[in-house]
Amino acid sequence: MVSAVGRTRQSRAAGDWSRTVARDRRTSSGLVPESGEHGTANGLVCLGEGVSVAADQLRSLNWTDYRKLTRGLAAILFSPAELATRSVTGQRWSRAGLAGGYRPIKPALDRAKVQAIINHVTSRFPSVGVTKIKQVLAYKCKESASSFRVQNVRTYGSVYSVI
What pTM was computed for the model?
A: 0.68
Q: What one-character-per-residue DSSP string does 79-126 give? A: -HHHHHH-BSS-PPPTTTTTTS---PPPPBPPHHHHHHHHHHHHHH-T
According to CATH, the topology of domain 64-154 is Arc Repressor Mutant, subunit A (1.10.10)
pLDDT in tens, 21-54: 333 334 333 445 544 445 555 889 999 889 999 9
- Please say whether the beta carbons of 84 and 152 come within 8 A: no
pLDDT in tens, 65-91: 999 999 999 999 999 999 999 999 998
What is the dihedral angle through the alpha carbons of 73, 78, 84, 89, rounded to the nearest 10 degrees? Answer: -80
The pLDDT score that the predictor gives to residue 95 is 59
